[in-house]
Amino acid sequence: MRVLGVDPGLTRCGLGVVDAQAARRITLVDVSVARSRPDDDVPARLAAIADAVEEVLDEHRPEAVALERVFAQHNVSTVMGTAQISGVVMLAAQRRGLPVALYTPSEVKAAVTGSGTAGKQQVGAMVARLLGLAEMPKPADAADALAIAIAHAWRGGAAPTSSRASTEAQRRWVEAERAARRRG
């Protein structure tokens, strides 16, 4: 399964593509960060990010798109930009008939590290380890996009569905997902 993970942002938008094989093996296909100029007006910024997303979708032809779910922050303009980019990505995926999945930051962190409260450094280090990279992808938006893609790849086809998860991190992820479903 090929997955495009997106860490949405109006200034920097992380785009990570991974292939997931059997036995939870994942490989890096592509990673980039789409950028827009903060001094441009919002429509031009949306267009710049949309063009980059379209290019990645056309070039790598993922089977699914995974996005970080927009969550409330104190900075309303950041939330607005993130939500606008999420809409752009969802539209591009919809036009290609691709399923879109949304994940909270804690779901992504739990998927790749086993802890929903892991820091950016821990997530980046684990992404590098899982993909066999010599160093963490930079900037953090790139590592986050790959983490989102990995979370979906594991959930979408190779996610553990029982206590037979193969690593401690995967067992914790299964437990976190069960707890989240119980909370409703």
* Residues that are catalytic: 7, 68, 141
Cα 14 from Cα 41, distance rounded (Å): 20
7 annotated to bind ligand = yes
Cα 126 from Cα 105, distance rounded (Å): 15
Handedness of CA 119, 151, 19, 130 (dihedral sign): positive
User: Cα torsion at 93, 95, 99, 100 (round to 10°)?
Assistant: 40
68 annotated to bind ligand = yes
What angle, 0 to 180 degrees and rounded to 10, lies between the N-to-C axes of helices 140-153 and 105-113? 80
141 annotated to bind ligand = yes
Binding site, annotated residues for Mg(2+): 7, 68, 141
Binding site, annotated residues: 7, 68, 141
